[in-house]
Amino acid sequence: MSSKSDFISDIWKDGLFDNKVVFCTGGAGTICSAQVRALVYLGANACIVGRNVEKTERVAKEIATVRPGAKVIGIGAVDVRKYDNLEAAAQRCAKELGGIDYVIAGAAGNFLASIEQISVNAFKSVIDIDVLGSYHTLKATLPYLLKSAEKHRYDGKTHIPSPLGTGGRIIFVSATLHYRAMPFQAHVSVAKAGIDALSDSVALEYGPRGITSNIIAPGPIESTEGVDRLIPSHLKEANIQAQPLGRLGHVRDIGDATVYVFSDAGNYLTGQTLVVDGAHWRMSGAGGTLDYPGALLSGKPVANVAGSKKAKL
């Protein structure tokens, strides 16, 4: 059982999300599971979905331990590239938990590869998981978000929002790779730019109906699959020293950002990107992963990239 400090700060009020339901794709991942833990600790019930059945169900049970009486459903064998999978998962979530108030679109795929090295299928797979998966998540949960938004509509005329709290909110988990571009990350940069555009469009189209849509863009977060995969061990210490705040992020930083966006404090926040990276993206985009430009000029492929092959020119 994880301690509270692993996923949330002490500043938030207990019961903040009582009787609320969060639906999260990629919910068994390190970052997204911390986001869901924070919400569940503060009163929400949750449904997390993922590809791996055993892992998704196990993480759901672990999340449920953060608060007595919490209900957390883990639905495995869900491929976000297939809309029917998401639609069925959202229906089950709403049926068993009573609705959907918050959505976190967090399913993603990433690895290091040059444009020359990555295969056409691998490039397409990243786009499909990130962009199409985010769209499917939105589309499948939209009917429930609209109901929640209507129920929890806040007119901004009073200092204290409805005692029912907030609802009808979605967060897309993105990245900062495409702000300045980064070598070996073209596939993910294109995908994340698409996610950002989708979130902004949702904010404009559904703001009049009470839904807020925002992006959380994590930087390098310690002890996550992303950092382990994208920063080779021999470069990790140098990467930490190059961080403006002198440290990598913690999943708690993302958990706190999530609580802020979904809480009463985020009532007027929509169409925004909340970058949680300690100003990392403002450093040079070329460094931090592999030797640049040496790794490109050597002609050697990036090691340990499963399922990739050199493109035919």
According to the model, what pLDDT value does residue 188 have?
95
The series of mean pLDDT values per 10 residues for the chain, 313 residues long, is 78 95 96 97 98 97 97 98 98 98 93 91 96 98 98 80 86 94 92 98 97 95 68 71 83 96 96 94 63 73 54 33
Long-range contacts of 232-236 (CB under 8 A, 24+ apart): 232/289, 232/290, 235/288, 235/289, 235/290
According to the model, what pLDDT value does residue 227 have?
64
According to the model, what pLDDT value does residue 104 have?
98
According to the model, what pLDDT value does residue 283 have?
79
Q: Domains of the chain by range and CATH?
A: 15-297 (3.40.50.720)
Residue 87's Cβ-count burial label (10 Å; 0-12, 13-18, 19+) is: middle
| 192 in catalytic set | yes
Phi first, then psi: give them for residue 218, nearest 5 degrees: -70, 150
DSSP state of 132: I
In sequence order, the 6+-apart residues with CB closer than 8 A to the CB of 107 are: 25, 26, 50, 80, 129, 130, 133, 134, 137
**What does each C-alpha distance from 72 to 24, 34, 147, 226, 259 come to in angstroms?**
11, 13, 21, 25, 18
| 213 in catalytic set | no
**By the 8 A CB rule, do 38 and 258 touch?**
yes
In sequence order, the 6+-apart residues with CB closer than 8 A to the CB of 185 are: 110, 112, 177, 230, 289
Catalytic residue among 33, 114, 174, 308: 174
Catalytic residue among 33, 134, 192, 263: 192
